[in-house]
Structure 1
Amino acid sequence: MVAAVTTTTAPSPLTDVPPLAGFTVGVTAARRAEELGTMLARRGACVVHGPALRIVPVADDTELLAATRDLIADPPDITVATTGIGYRGWVEAADGWGLGEDLLRALGSGTLLARGPKARGAIRASGLVDAWSPPSESSAEVLEYLLAGPPLDGKRIAVQLHGEPLPDVVEALEIAGASVVQIPVYRWLPPADLGPLDRLLDAVLSGGIDALAFTSAPAAAGLLARAAERGVREQLVDALRGPVLSLCVGPVTAAPLEALDVCTVQPQRSRLGAMVRCLEAEMPDRARRLPVAGHRVELRGQAVLVDGALRAVPPAGMALLRALARRPGRVVGRADLLRALPGGGDDEHAVETAMARLRSALGEPKLVQTVVKRGYRLALDPASGTDLGGHCVHGDAP
């Protein structure tokens, strides 16, 4: 799935520009990717979807069947449901195996805890009642609740996994004396079609992605694993440590990235809506703003705002503009600009062609000045306090 919004070159007030307009966001999720993409697109983002994993159907999972039979034979004292979709899938799979009523009877004989409102809703839809749910919707708070309650020594606790192991939770419960049964309601595997993931990875490495959204730790691990298979893991980590923002739904999701010293941005609540609002607040602050030739210029990832009007700029033009913006008001030679162009090459005429297209896209040719026999520069306003440098300036295209 690739969702996108078409940017417009018609002038509009700055307040009318969506907060994510001009930014491209990569979505790595397999589940609820369309929902996340729609929320991002409504805020102006161009969205590129490259699922980094796929979900194994629960009915086909022999591990889940074995765990279900184990719990029916020896019912748990406490059951922790971590996701609504996982709990529902578990019950539906048990129904398919002819074990549905037996499973609900076993779970209902003990105490049920829900990690969040969706898990709570799934429990109640199955005819059972949960005893407690944490306000934070975090596994860590569920663990704190269990450890602060009655002694767990000798208790049998079933923990529904949500796509990845919970070793810290399981270990802490076992240290407290509990016997823990892990319920693998669904498992993550690499995507059947690697094409979309590879295209997303290529876009990240070529500078075409401004932010990557992760909704599960396996998605982050899956992207890193695929990069390693292609021999570009180091380049990917460098991109995530630098220009590409890593947006994670919560700390568990962020763990594989932060283990590599990749800084992440997370909402206070681990929800998709909160995640998008977090990005909505973060990305505009990452834009580069400059006073140029009497205009307000804002570089936004893959587009530019000129006096509040959003201008779509081709990739080659954005590469030149970023190179000029790194040295605002100073001359950048054609050879340096040629190295900045995607694909490189050795023909400096490519710089002139890309520069002409950049000026056309910006709608204000005098924003970029030609310095005769030397190169180009942004026409930074002298009032900005930056030394312009250079000589023999004119604003006409070469």
Structure 2
Amino acid sequence: MSATATAGTGTRIGGALAGFRIAVTSQRRSAELIEALERRGAQVLHAPTLRLAPLAEDAELLAGTRRMLRLRPEYVLVSTAYGFRRWFETAEAVGLGDELAEVLRAARIHVRGPKALGAVRALGFEAEARAGEELTSTMVAGLAPLLEGKAVVLQHHGIGDDEAAATLLEAGTRELLRISPYRWVPPEDAGKLEVLLRALCSGSLDALTFTSAPAVVALLEAARHNGCHAQLLEALQSTICTVAVGPVTAAPLLEAGISPLVPARHRMGAMIHTLVEHLGRRGALECATVLGPCQLRGDTVHLGGRGRELGPGQLRIFKALLEAGGNVVSRGTLAALLPDGSSDHALDMAVSRLRGALPDARLVSTVVKRGYRLNA
């Protein structure tokens, strides 16, 4: 399947996500997420869509920090915990930590959510208020009536927060300074991103996870660049389960017409729990057959206590047969699931390989001159 995970012909260790193929698009904290998914039996494809620029490349952040020290803002709005910590660490590394701390203590600090609040307090500062919905827009809207003639610093999460900045300017701020403590740059291995796009467009994945809005934007832009944007949208709007860690991350997906799962608590653990529940409830297909109950979980067919993994092409054909519930699926319909230009012979060979991969070849019956069906 990829450099990270390859489909085989046996069975994987059981778990709540056994048989499911899930993509992880994050760089930061990816090891933690991958380990949690694999521990539950999932097959994971890791393909970061972006990476964080090293601290050594943060000249722009330091320039903004020095400007803030001269500005002495009345209000500082903090969007992300990681961003606030990284901002302070970068300032300390060049000897600006004490002066930055002095300015922050003199300002009225407002935070977007509980993680940002925790980061502010951990560094010895106090926040005046926290946004109720954990959204930058909510934080800004609540403050807007108080900001006329004030100098404001907005620490944002890396894709600009243009709407929030516009609201602050419309509120009559004397000066607005936007600080982005981390910059997103292209991934080191662009080949992994291309592998991810092919897997998504071919239907070789069951779920796609996002932990940041910039990662979403980067994937959609990569799809445009590779000429598969329409295919990607179709896959994410229909067959592939998309999961976002919170509403900020979900926003660019919703703008693209994709409806992701979003946990009630905007945490990685809650995201994993939401995904487990969803795939357990809707990700498995079942059908009664003459050989006994047959279940498809992700890429694994279970029959009579045996499980066999299917390759991408085999999976597309078997899923179509399973969804038909014993009704005939025409040759034309099945051929359309194979690569363009597939012949009748290619379809027959594909079905033959599918039978060889199943726990019992008798699961698939031939209906002469019409097509194939599940032996239900």
TM-score by length of 1: 0.83
RMSD: 2.8
Q: Which residue of 2 is the match for residue 142 of structure 1?
A: 139
The answer to whether the aligner puts 1:53 opposite 2:50 as a matched pair is yes
Between the aligned residues of both structures, percent identity stands at 40
1:324-376 alpha-carbon deviations (Å, 9 max, x no partner): 2343322335565344335763262x445443443344323332223356542
Q: Which residue of 2 is the match for residue 212 of structure 1?
A: 208
1:165-224 alpha-carbon deviations (Å, 9 max, x no partner): 112222223333334321111111222321110111111112111221122221111111
Q: Of the candidates 307, 310, 313, which is equivalent to residue 313 of structure 1?
A: 310
Cα distance in structure 1, aligned partners of 2:249 and 2:305: 36
Q: Which residue of 2 is the match for residue 384 of structure 1?
A: none
Matches within 5 A, 1:70-85: 70-85=67-82
Q: Of the candidates 144, 152, 156, which is equivalent to residue 147 of structure 2?
A: 152
Matches within 5 A, 1:205-354: 205-284=201-280, 285-293=282-290, 295-306=292-303, 310-334=307-331, 336-342=333-339, 345-346=342-343, 348=345, 350-354=346-350
Q: Which residue of 2 is the match for residue 94 of structure 1?
A: 91
Q: Taking structure 1 as reference, are residues 163 and 287 closer, same or farther at Cα in structure 2, changes over 3 Å only?
A: same
Cα distance in structure 2, aligned partners of 1:232 and 1:46: 24
The answer to whether the aligner puts 1:31 opposite 2:33 as a matched pair is no
Cα distance in structure 2, aligned partners of 1:311 and 1:129: 56
Q: CA offset at residue 91 of structure 1?
A: 1.3
Q: Taking structure 1 as reference, are residues 153 and 335 closer, same or farther at Cα in structure 2, changes over 3 Å only?
A: closer
Q: Which shifted more, 328-337 or 234-243?
A: 328-337
> Contact (CA 8 Å) 1:8, 1:310: kept in 2 or not?
yes
Secondary structure in structure 2 of the residue aligned to 1:265: coil
Q: CA offset at residue 321 of structure 1?
A: 0.7
Q: Of the candidates 10, 18, 21, which is equivalent to residue 18 of structure 2?
A: 21
Secondary structure in structure 2 of the residue aligned to 1:88: helix
Q: CA offset at residue 232 of structure 1?
A: 1.4
Matches within 5 A, 1:99-178: 99-134=96-131, 136-147=133-144, 151-178=146-173
Q: Which residue of 2 is the match for residue 396 of structure 1?
A: none
> Contact (CA 8 Å) 2:113, 2:131: kept in 1 or not?
yes
Cα distance in structure 1, aligned partners of 2:217 and 2:294: 38
Cα distance in structure 2, aligned partners of 1:216 and 1:268: 16
Q: CA offset at residue 318 of structure 1?
A: 1.4
TM-score by length of 2: 0.88
Whichever residue aligns with residue 202 of structure 1, its letter is R
Q: Taking structure 1 as reference, are residues 308 and 80 closer, same or farther at Cα in structure 2, changes over 3 Å only?
A: farther
Unaligned runs of 5+ in 2: none
Cα distance in structure 2, aligned partners of 1:353 and 1:171: 59
Q: Which residue of 1 is the match for residue 177 of structure 2?
A: 181
Whichever residue aligns with residue 2 of structure 1, its letter is T
Q: CA offset at residue 239 of structure 1?
A: 1.5
Q: Taking structure 1 as reference, are residues 307 and 82 closer, same or farther at Cα in structure 2, changes over 3 Å only?
A: farther
Q: Which shifted more, 269-278 or 122-131?
A: 122-131
> Contact (CA 8 Å) 1:3, 1:41: kept in 2 or not?
no
1:51-87 alpha-carbon deviations (Å, 9 max, x no partner): 1112123442332122211221121222222222211
Whichever residue aligns with residue 111 of structure 1, its letter is R
Aligned length, in residue pairs: 372
Cα distance in structure 2, aligned partners of 1:18 and 1:67: 48
